[in-house]
Amino acid sequence: MKTFATHLPPAAQMDDGQRRRGRLYAYASTWFGCYAEVMVDSSAIVILYLTLLHSSATLTMLSTAFPALAAILLTIPGAAIASRIGLRRTYAVSCYIGCAGMLLMAAAPVLDAPLDRYAVLLGCLVYSLSRPLYGVTWYPMLDNVLLPSERGPFFGTMRFSYLALTTSSFFLISLAMGKDPPVWALQLVVGVVGALLIGRKCCLDRMPVEPCRRSRYPLRLTLAISIRNRPLVGWAVYTCCLTLASSALLPLAIIYLKREVLADAKVVQWISITYMVGLIFSHYISARLLRWFGVRRLQPAGHLCFIACALGLALLDAGRPGFFWLVGGIVFLMGFAAASGLNCYSLELMALARPDNRTMAAAFLATYSGIGSASSRFLTSFVLGAGMLVPRWTRGGITFCSYQTLFLFFAVLLTFFLLLLFLVPSIVPKNRDYYVPY
C-alpha cells in the first residue's frame, strides 16, 4: 500500500518569538482579507449595491451562490494546483484575482444598464473563484507557525478579532450611508475592500513557508481514502443537507426586508450586522460551550435553532410592532447557530481526517458543504425568478407572501433533515472506522 511521507514542520524548529511573529502576520492577513469574505457572505452591501442598480431578486440571490459554486468546482483541484506551483504562487494568484474581481464590481456602474448589474455579477464570480485557491494554502501556511497546542487559542482569537473588526467597520459604514446611499458610496466601499486583498498577500509573504516540492498530487489515492472513510462521508452528507436547508436564510431575509417590507438601507445593513454579532458572541463562548456540551449536544441544538429561525421569519407579520427588533433577534440567533456549526465542523474534521490525508479530507468536506450551499441559493433564485409561488395566501388567519413561503419550506426541510443526525459521528461514535475526537 502506498504511504505518505511525514516530516517535522517548520513550527517545531522555531523559537517562541519567531512563531509569535508568524502568528501576528497570520492574524493581519485575515484582517486585510476578511472584509471581502464577510461582505459577500454576511453583509448586505452587495445586495444593496445590486438593488441600487435595479437588479432583480433572482440575480441578487444568484450572486450569493457564487462562493459555494466556486468551492464545488475548485477546492479539490486547488489542492493539486498548490502542490504543483507552491503555496506562495497559489495565494498570490488568489489575491490578485480576488482584487481584480472586486475592482470590476466597483467599476460596474460606468456601464449602461443592464450591463452594469451583469458586471457586478461577473466581478462577484471572479472573486469567488479566487477563494478556494486561498483556502487550500491557509492551513498549510499555519502549520509553519503553529504548534498543535497553539491551534485552539489561535483560531478562537483569529475568528473573534476579524469578526469584531468587520462588524464594527460595517456598522460605521451603515451609519455613514444613511437611508438611501448613493451608488458611488457603495462603489467606494467595494473598491477599498478589493484593494485590501493585496494587504493579505503582503502579510502572507512575511510568513515562513516550506520550499516548494513540485510533484504529482496523488489525487485519486487521497480521494479514495476519503471516500472509504464512512464516518467522514456520513458527516459530509449531513453537512450538505444542513447547508441545503439553511444557507439561503440570511440572503433571503435581507432581500425580503429590502424588496417586500421596503426597509431603509440603514435598517437592512444593521440587521445584517446583528448576524455578525451573533457569530462573534458564539465564537467568544465556543470553547465553554464545547467543553460543557460537546458536539454531540451542540450540533442538534444548532439544527433546532435554524428550524426556529426559519419558522419565526415565516410567521412574523411585517406590520407587528417591533418587527425589525424581532427580525434582528432571529438573525442574531442564525449567526450564533452558524458559528456554533462551524466550530463543530472544525472539530469533526480534525477527528475524522487521517493525519496523512487531512488536506483531501478538508477539501472533500468543503466540496459537499459547497454543494449544499450552492443548491440552496440556486434553488431559491430559480423559484423567485420563475414566479412559482403565489404572491399572497392566507392560512389560519396569517397571510404569507412568497418570501415567507420559502422560509416555511426551509423550516419543513430542516425538520425533515433531523432524521440525518444519526450520521453525525459524535452522536454515534462507536464504529470500526477512523475517528479520534479531541
Domains of the chain: 16-421 (1.20.1250.20)
Report yes or no: 40 and 48 within 8 Å, Cβ to Cβ.
Answer: no
Closest CA to 272 of 196, 343, 338, 327: 327
Cα angle 377, 33, 86 (rounded to 5 degrees) comes to: 95
Report yes or no: 109 and 53 within 8 Å, Cβ to Cβ.
Answer: yes
What is the C-alpha separation between 137 and 265, in angstroms, rounded?
A: 36
Distances (CA, A) of 161 to 144, 165, 196, 272: 21, 6, 17, 18
* Model pLDDT, residue 166: 87
* Model pLDDT, residue 2: 42
What is the C-alpha separation between 265 and 1, in angstroms, rounded?
A: 59
Question: In b/e form, how buried is each residue of 102-114, taking b as 16+ CB within 10 angstroms?
Answer: bbbbbbbbeeeee
Three-state DSSP at 266 gives helix
Three-state DSSP at 63 gives helix
**Strand (E) or helix (H) holding 320:** none
- State the angle between helix axes of 402-416 and 358-386 in degrees (0 to 180), rounded to the nearest 10: 140
Distances (CA, A) of 414 to 253, 328, 388, 410: 17, 21, 21, 6
pLDDT tens series, the chain, 438 aa: 344 444 555 666 676 777 888 889 999 999 999 899 888 877 678 888 888 888 887 787 778 778 888 888 888 888 778 777 888 899 999 999 999 999 999 999 998 878 888 999 999 999 999 998 888 788 778 777 877 666 666 776 787 888 888 888 888 887 787 777 888 988 999 999 999 999 999 999 998 876 554 445 567 777 787 788 888 888 889 999 999 999 989 989 988 888 888 888 788 888 888 998 898 888 788 767 777 887 788 889 999 999 999 999 999 888 888 899 999 999 999 999 998 888 788 777 767 767 667 667 777 888 888 899 888 888 888 888 777 778 888 887 777 888 899 999 999 999 999 999 888 887 776 655 555 555
Distances (CA, A) of 83 to 60, 80, 136, 215: 35, 5, 10, 7
Q: What are phi and psi of 421, to 5 degrees?
A: -60, -25
Residues counted in the chain: 438
pLDDT tens readout for residues 362-419: 778 888 888 998 888 888 888 887 777 788 888 877 778 888 999 999 999 999 999 9
How many beta carbons lie within 10 A of that of residue 285, not counting itself?
13
**Sequence-ordered list of residues with C-beta below 8 angstroms from that of 387, at least 6 positions apart, any chain:** none
**Sequence-ordered list of residues with C-beta below 8 angstroms from that of 264, at least 6 positions apart, any chain:** 179, 180
Closest CA to 252 of 33, 401, 75, 422: 401
How many beta carbons lie within 10 A of that of residue 148, not counting itself?
11
Contacts 24+ apart (CB under 8 A), 113-119: 113/53, 113/54, 116/53, 117/50, 117/53, 117/54, 117/55, 117/59
**Sequence-ordered list of residues with C-beta below 8 angstroms from that of 336, at least 6 positions apart, any chain:** 278, 279, 281, 282, 305
What is the C-alpha separation between 48 and 64, in angstroms, rounded?
A: 12
- Cell readout for 349 is 474534521
Question: In b/e form, how buried is each residue of 318-335, taking b as 16+ CB within 10 angstroms?
Answer: beeeeebeebbbbbbbbb
- Cell readout for 411 is 423550516
What is the C-alpha separation between 276 and 341, in angstroms, rounded?
A: 14
Residue recorded with cell 497553539: 150
- Burial (CB < 10 A; 0-12, 13-18, 19+), residue 315, is middle
* Model pLDDT, residue 190: 92
pLDDT tens readout for residues 108-125: 999 887 888 899 999 999
What is the C-alpha separation between 272 and 253, in angstroms, rounded?
A: 9
DSSP 8-state symbol, 206: T
